[in-house]
Structure formats: structure tokens, C-alpha cells
Chains A and B, each alone.
Chain A
Amino acid sequence: MKTKHSQNPKQKTNIPLWMLKGNGQYANIQKQTNFLIKTVKELSSIMQNEILSEKFVKSKGYLQMINPLIKLLTLLVFILICSLTKSLITLILLGFITVSLAKLSALNLKDYFKRIWIILPLLVFVFSIPASTSLFSKGVPLFYIYKGLNLNIAGISLPTELYISFSGLIMILKMSLRIGVSVSFAYLLIMTTRWSSITHAFSVLRVPPLIVTIFNMTYRYIFILSKIAAEMMEARFLRTVGSTGGKSNRSFMASRMSILFIKANFLSDEIYNAMRCRGFCGEGVSLYKFKIGKADLLWIANNILILIVLFLGELLT
């Protein structure tokens, strides 16, 4: 069908006539919950306002006063202990230390719990519950799911009893705590230290330049990517009049993710080029030099004491 065009001789571009008229009211406008836009926007906002703007780095908290190199080393030691310990009490103590440090470093405790403890450790705990049953960990029964049943389904005979064992529950609790504590230490480091200082500390610790570059690149374009993702969502939202089905949403998400990957590739090239143009050859540098002060000495003394207590506790248990 041939489109009719405007005949105005002053207009060089032939605008289709339908474009010169207004649109009527579309029938199938429905209210939609745009949780995807909300999620991406929230992610983008956290990246912008808290991590990238280094909001908490500038506050005068305890961890902010510590030399980044010493802080990095100490927190890595804590993460190592957390991964190696078999004691639940040690893990609980480490968890308590992370909360105390978050409080002393003027971080928002509500956000800290919401982002660290509510999501990952809780999910790991819930999804690991089957591992705490007598199917995988025998032991003292804590709670029976069923008892005295002789069931045979499709030639497979089920156990006569199924219960959650005490040892199984402790095992999954330790696993969740381990994850929560490790992520907490990483969170404390990122929220209270300038990124350039962290990468500079990595360079001082002789981490290969390639790894430092990967860290730098990730940090540097994650914001731009989250912004692009939010804009793509908004662009679709603005062009969506009727309701969209789940299939269409999934297909949209998949295609946007692929576009984001392509853009990420392009951006990483451009940002790396911009860094090379200013003499970057893989080495992390920082405007803020590492100096050891009284706060660092106090921090080291405190942590040695904590490590001794934890070590003795491990020996005794």
C-alpha cells in the first residue's frame, strides 16, 4: 500500500500524512508492573550513588582510616579463616565482627543486612535444606518429615523415614554463614576504600597487571553498562502501549542481554584505549599514598588479638 505524503512545498522532507495527525486513544492500554525497569534502575542507582561515587569512603569511620594495603591484607586473612574453619562459633564470631565493623565504619546497617545477609546466605540456606536431610547427612534427628513408610515408586523404594538431622542443619548453617561472612568482608572493603587504592594495593602485592587491568576495566564500565541497560528498558516501556506476555518479555530480555554483551565489548575497547592514551600499561596507580598511622597500628593490634582468640577457640573445640 502506498503511503500518502504531505504536499507542502516548503517542506523538503516528505512527512507521511498519518504522522501529521494526532493519535486516537488505543484500546488495550493496561497498567503494568515494570519490575525489570525498577530492578535495573535500582542497581544502576546503587552503583552510581554508593559504590562509584564512593559515598561511604568519604565518611569518617573506623575502616576508612585504615591504610588500604593493611586493610586488604587483614580482610583477606579473615576471609581465609572463614573458608578454612570448621567451627560454627568461629563463623558466628566472624559474622559479629563484620557487623561491628560495618557499624563502626558508619555504613547503613539496614542496607548492609538487606544486601548481604537477606539475599545470598538465606537463599543458600533454603536451597540447601535437602542436603540436611537423612538422605545425605545421617545423625541425630531434629525434625521428621515422615516416619515408618514403605513406599515404592516406579521400582525405586524410598527410605522408611526421612528427617532433618542436627548435623545436616549445622552443615548448611555453616555453609550459609561462610558465604555471608566472606561477602561481608568484601563488601566492607569495597564500601570503605577507594577503588584506585584497592587496585594500587593489588599492584603492591604483586598481583599480575593483567588481573589488575581486568578489575579496573570491570569497575570502570559497569556503570555505563547499567545505565545503558536501564535506558533500553525505559525505551521499551515508553513504546509499550498494551500488555506484554511473559514469552515476549523473556525474548526481549534475551535480545537485550546479547546487545549489552556486544556493547560491553565495544566499550571495553574504547575505555582501554582511553586508558592507554594516558600512559596506562597495566599498572594500578593511586593519588593517595599508603602511610601507616596510629589507627593502622591499633587495627593491627586489635586483629592480632582477635586472631589469637579465634585460634585458641579452634584449638579448644
Chain B
Amino acid sequence: MKALESNTIFKLKNASFAYPFEEPVLKNISFSISKGEMVSVLGANGCGKSTLLKIFAGLLCPQEGVFNAFGNNITEELLLEDKFSKQYHQKIGFIFQDSDVQLFCSTAEEEIAFGLLQLGISEAEVKERICDVINLLNIEHLKDKPPFKLSGGEKKKVAIAAVLAMNPEILILDEPTNGLDPRTQRWLAELLTSLGSAGKTLITSTHNLELVQEISKRAILFNEIHTIAADLPTEKLLSDSKLLLSVNLVDEYYHRHEGSKHSHFHIHNY
């Protein structure tokens, strides 16, 4: 894998993607993401956010256009090379929308160890990292539990622990707050903010507009015709309710309450 010449880690140029026998879910997408950025990907359901994240995670490859990651033009053949694939996935941590598909080992501890063992890390270091990440997320009590006996929030915590243990440079999160209670959502926002401040690159796809302003400084908005409607600083994008309305992300009742330190969106049903 080539060394980074600039700070750019991902670059898409006129990229398009369509699933077999279906209409394109991404059309002519061009933008880049630099190291340490905190980016949110917004858009209505089915606009192509998850597909975009899967391209960044090296799970899909655009059929048209160029996808450059870490200075390499990514092709399907390149991703199928074991050595390249391992190096690529070591740099990227992907948190799936559905934690059930991400938790496939017998216990939470084995789940956290899975990625580390795949990377060939020594047994002593694996155990040390497991211990550290368990303490970081405060999930000691979940260590020996099988994943399907965990609640939604606990599953998300174990999934995050499994990814953080691999110490990825980039964290990609697909709808991370889906199905989480408010307390766990708060915990997650704080964790992501800390990781972002520590220099990790964060790319999050979400519908949760409250979360967006906390965990990102830049927001990329998709419209329903699968192209980019806007790529703006988060504050500016969230202030433009007409723009959000035009892509069907919010309705006409949606508005923002500005405060001295905190602002939020909500609905008045009258």
C-alpha cells in the first residue's frame, strides 16, 4: 500500500454504483475526505448512504469512475488480494447498522479478539488490547456473554469494542444510533466526539440530526436522485431547512432551536 502523499485518504471522482438488475444507487459522485476529518453523510432512506460507506470500507467498488484510497486506485482485484485486504481493513473500522451481522463469535471476548487474531497480533497483545478496550467501554460484565443475549445497546457497544480494538485510523459508522435508547445515544455521541478529538477520521451516516452537529464538522447531503445535493460545514447545512426539505430528509414542521451552547431539532405536532 502506497504512503500518503497528502492528507487525502479517500477520493471519489465521477463514481457510480448499481446493484445487479437495479437502478444506480450512486450517480457521478465526486468528493474527497482528508485525514482527521469528522464527516456526516445525510439523506433520505434509500439514497445510497450505506452503499457509499461500503465503498469506503472496501466491500464494494464503483463500476464507473475512480475510487482512490490511501493513494491507491481501488479495484475489485486489489481488494481480493489477501495482503492488501488485511492492510486496508486494519486502517478502517466499520460499524454496521445491524449489530447482529457484526457479532458472529461465541462470546463478546472472542468477538473483540477476532479481528486482532486475523491480523496476526501476538497472543499477549491481543489479551492486553481486549482488557483495555473492555475497560474503555466499561463492558466487563458482557465479556463472557454470547452476543444474542445482549440488548441492542450492549450489542452496539461490543461491536464498537471489536472495531476499536483493531485501532483503525478511520471509523465508518452506518446509522450508529438506530434502535438505541437516549442514554446509549448520548454515550455514543460522547465517545465519537472524544475519538474525533483524538485525531481519528470519522465518517457517519445518520438520520439523527442532533447527533450530526456533535460528531461532525462537515456534512454531505444526498438527494433522492442519488447525487450529492450539498457538501457544507455541518452548521451551515443544518441551518438550511429549505435544502433539507428539498431532499425529503425533514418535513415542513421541522425547525431548529438555537441556544447559547446547544441547538436541536424537533417536531411540534400542531
Q: Does A122 contact B (CB under 8 A)?
A: no
Contacts of B119 in A (CB 8 A): 279
Q: Is the CB of A53 within 8 A of B106?
A: yes
Contacts of A301 in B (CB 8 A): none
Q: Is the CB of B118 within 8 A of A287?
A: no
Q: Is the CB of A281 within 8 A of B85?
A: yes
Q: Does A194 contact B (CB under 8 A)?
A: yes
Q: Determine how close the nearest CB of chain A comes to the CB of B122; give it in whole angstroms.
A: 11
Q: Does B94 contact A (CB under 8 A)?
A: yes
Of A53, A271, A273, A278, which is in contact with the most chain B CB atoms at under 10 Å from its CB? A278
In the assembled complex, the Cα of A38 lies from the Cα of B267 at a distance in Å of: 43
Q: Determine how close the nearest CB of chain B comes to the CB of A51; give it in whole angstroms.
A: 10
Q: Does A224 contact B (CB under 8 A)?
A: yes
- Of the candidates B101, B109, B110, B115, which one forms a contact with A278 in the assembled complex, judged by CB atoms under 8 Å apart? B115
Contacts of B96 in A (CB 8 A): 270, 273-274
Q: Is the CB of B270 within 8 A of A278?
A: no
Q: Is the CB of B270 within 8 A of A10?
A: yes
Q: Does B86 contact A (CB under 8 A)?
A: yes
- Of the candidates A267, A280, A287, which one forms a contact with B101 in the assembled complex, judged by CB atoms under 8 Å apart? A267
As a 0/1 sequence over residues 257 to 299 of chain A, the CB contacts with chain B under 8 angstroms (1 = contact) are 0000000000100110111111111010111010000000000
User: Which A residues from 35 to 63 make CB contacts under 8 A with B?
Assistant: 48, 52-54
- Of the candidates B85, B123, B149, which one forms a contact with A53 in the assembled complex, judged by CB atoms under 8 Å apart? B149
Q: Determine how close the nearest CB of chain A comes to the CB of B263; give it in whole angstroms.
A: 25
In the assembled complex, the Cα of A12 lies from the Cα of B227 at a distance in Å of: 30
In the assembled complex, the Cα of A280 lies from the Cα of B96 at a distance in Å of: 16
User: Which B residues from 46 to 90 make CB contacts under 8 A with A?
Assistant: 54, 57-59, 82, 85-86, 89-90
Q: Determine how close the nearest CB of chain A comes to the CB of B148; give it in whole angstroms.
A: 6
Contacts of B245 in A (CB 8 A): none
Q: Is the CB of B114 within 8 A of A285?
A: yes
Contacts of A276 in B (CB 8 A): 58-59, 85, 89
Q: Does B100 contact A (CB under 8 A)?
A: yes
Contacts of A10 in B (CB 8 A): 269-270
Q: Does A202 contact B (CB under 8 A)?
A: no
Of B89, B98, B149, which is in contact with the most chain A CB atoms at under 10 Å from its CB? B89
| Identity of the chain B residue whose Cβ is nearest the Cβ of A11 in the assembled complex | B269
| Identity of the chain A residue whose Cβ is nearest the Cβ of B81 in the assembled complex | A281
Q: Does B104 contact A (CB under 8 A)?
A: yes
Q: Is the CB of B106 within 8 A of A275?
A: no
Q: Is the CB of A278 within 8 A of B162?
A: yes
| Identity of the chain B residue whose Cβ is nearest the Cβ of A219 in the assembled complex | B104
| Identity of the chain B residue whose Cβ is nearest the Cβ of A270 in the assembled complex | B101
In the assembled complex, the Cα of A49 lies from the Cα of B162 at a distance in Å of: 23
Q: Contacts A279-B86, A280-B118, A283-B118 given; indicate if A274 touches B104 (C-beta within 8 A).
A: yes
Q: Does B92 contact A (CB under 8 A)?
A: yes
Q: Does B232 contact A (CB under 8 A)?
A: no
As a 0/1 sequence over residues 88 to 131 of chain B, the CB contacts with chain A under 8 angstroms (1 = contact) are 01101110101011101111011001110111000100100000
Q: Is the CB of B104 within 8 A of A271?
A: yes
In the assembled complex, the Cα of A195 lies from the Cα of B147 at a distance in Å of: 14
In the assembled complex, the Cα of A275 lies from the Cα of B94 at a distance in Å of: 10
As a 0/1 sequence over residues 24 to 65 of chain B, the CB contacts with chain A under 8 angstroms (1 = contact) are 000000000000000000000000000000100111000000
Q: Does A196 contact B (CB under 8 A)?
A: yes
As a 0/1 sequence over residues 137 to 158 of chain A, the CB contacts with chain B under 8 angstroms (1 = contact) are 0000000000000000000000
Q: Does B211 contact A (CB under 8 A)?
A: no
Q: Does A223 contact B (CB under 8 A)?
A: yes
In the assembled complex, the Cα of A182 lies from the Cα of B59 at a distance in Å of: 40
Q: Does B244 contact A (CB under 8 A)?
A: no
In the assembled complex, the Cα of A195 lies from the Cα of B146 at a distance in Å of: 13
Q: Is the CB of A274 within 8 A of B102?
A: yes
In the assembled complex, the Cα of A280 lies from the Cα of B110 at a distance in Å of: 14
Of A267, A271, A285, which is in contact with the most chain B CB atoms at under 10 Å from its CB? A285
User: Which A residues from 147 to 204 make CB contacts under 8 A with B?
Assistant: 194-196
In the assembled complex, the Cα of A270 lies from the Cα of B101 at a distance in Å of: 6
Contacts of B133 in A (CB 8 A): none
Contacts of B148 in A (CB 8 A): 48, 52-53, 223, 227
Of A48, A196, A221, A289, which is in contact with the most chain B CB atoms at under 10 Å from its CB? A196
Q: Determine how close the nearest CB of chain A comes to the CB of B85; give it in whole angstroms.
A: 6
Of B58, B96, B117, B162, which is in contact with the most chain A CB atoms at under 10 Å from its CB? B117
15 A-B pairs besides A216-B104, A273-B101, A279-B166 with CB distance below 8 A are A52-B106, A52-B146, A54-B106, A274-B94, A274-B101, A274-B104, A276-B58, A276-B85, A277-B89, A277-B92, A279-B90, A279-B118, A280-B114, A283-B118, A287-B110
Chosen A-B contacts, 23 in total, with CB atoms closer than 8 Å, are A10-B270, A52-B146, A54-B146, A195-B106, A220-B104, A224-B101, A267-B101, A271-B104, A273-B57, A274-B94, A274-B102, A274-B104, A275-B104, A275-B114, A276-B59, A277-B58, A278-B89, A278-B114, A278-B166, A279-B166, A281-B82, A281-B118, A286-B117
Chain B positions within 8 Å of A, measured between CB atoms, are 54, 57-59, 82, 85-86, 89-90, 92-94, 96, 98, 100-102, 104-107, 109-110, 113-115, 117-119, 123, 126, 146, 148-149, 162-163, 166, 269-270
Chain A positions within 8 Å of B, measured between CB atoms, are 10, 48, 52-54, 194-196, 216, 220-221, 223-224, 227, 267, 270-271, 273-281, 283, 285-287, 289
